[in-house]
Amino acid sequence: MTDSRRFSAARLFIVLGALWLAVGAFYKLFAGNPGDLPKPFFAWFDWMGSKDMLFIMAIATELVVIVLALFRPKLGWIALLGVYLMFEAILAPLIASGAESCGCMGGTITIKPIVMASIDAVIIIGLIASRPWKAAGMQPVAPTAIVGLLAVAAIVAPVLKFKDVGKVPTQEERDAAAERGEEVAAPKFVTLTPPEWIGQSVYDSPLAAVLGEEIFNLPGEGTWVFWRWTCDHCADHLAELAAAPAIEEIILIRVKEKTDNDENVAVTVLPQGAHVYHAELSDQTEWVLSTPADMKLKGDIILEARENIGH
């Protein structure tokens, strides 16, 4: 293969790889939330920060790699290859677990992990087979200053986009708005991480801002359980609780979603009795929380907390 043909093939797969990466990055940027990211991603990188921060970092990294691939191909192809190899590593456990969607495009588009892995594999093979390290004409496409500005913009864009998205209005803000006759807009999404609340009073936790005054009608003892209408694991967990002896208060907090309906219900059995209390999280917000989740409380202090029970 001549240098010119190698150059054409290498640049073709670099551009294709960058454009495909851009599709996922922009879907996450404009229509996604942290809960859409693949669970292995959180498992591997949770030491780097909160789910919100990891979500921002994931988008920023993809956008920077796109900039490098398009405008500094001699360096960018390496970053592009590294990202796609990481994608394959993330997709492997999802394929093994039979996951229905990879989460690569945010929550608006469902793509099976095996399909996404196949697409990514084509790009990886194309990049390696075209030998970009030997291809001619891999010179910079734009001045360094412009590339630098684009890279900075790629980092700043998701930070600005999501810096206040998950902010929950305080009760004081709600009361002030009510006095003015105004309605406080619900945040687009809110990340809830019960394990991070261990040691706090439930009435001082982020959940208190979410539930408002309603939280004070719930007991500060027993087990608080977060569940979703369509969650099979929630159905199993709640059925177990329903069959167990009533030895403590159970507070069932339904995480509502706009897509809930009578056709997709998975939870058919709930604990019953005077020891059971109910609360709901509004479907006007997307709740980033791996359900079923629970918290063990004593004297209103959160002693234990778990997410993703039974997975």
pTM value is 0.74
Return the domain boundaries, the chain: 3-162, 190-306
- Which amino acid is residue 104, in one-letter code? C
Residue 164 has a pLDDT of: 67
- Model confidence at 107, pLDDT cuts 50, 70, 90, reads low
- Which amino acid is residue 76, in one-letter code? G
- Model confidence at 36, pLDDT cuts 50, 70, 90, reads confident
DSSP-derived letter for residue 48 is G
pLDDT digits 0-9 by tens, 122-132: 999 999 999 99
Residue 1 has a pLDDT of: 46
DSSP E strands, the chain? 104-107, 189-191, 222-227, 250-255, 276-281, 286-288, 293-298, 301-306
Residue 63 has a pLDDT of: 96
Q: What is the mean pLDDT of residues 97-104?
A: 76
Higher-confidence residue of 2 and 134: namely: 134
Q: Are strands 301-306 and 293-298 parallel, antiparallel or unpaired?
A: antiparallel
The Cα–Cα gap between 112 and 103 comes to 9
What are the structure tokens assigned to 84, written together? Answer: 């796609």
Q: Are 252 and 229 in contact (CB under 8 A)?
A: no
Q: What is the mean pLDDT of residues 240-261?
A: 92
Higher-confidence residue of 164 and 308: namely: 308
pLDDT digits 0-9 by tens, 153-205: 999 999 988 876 666 666 677 667 667 777 777 778 888 989 989 999 999 99
DSSP-derived letter for residue 112 is -
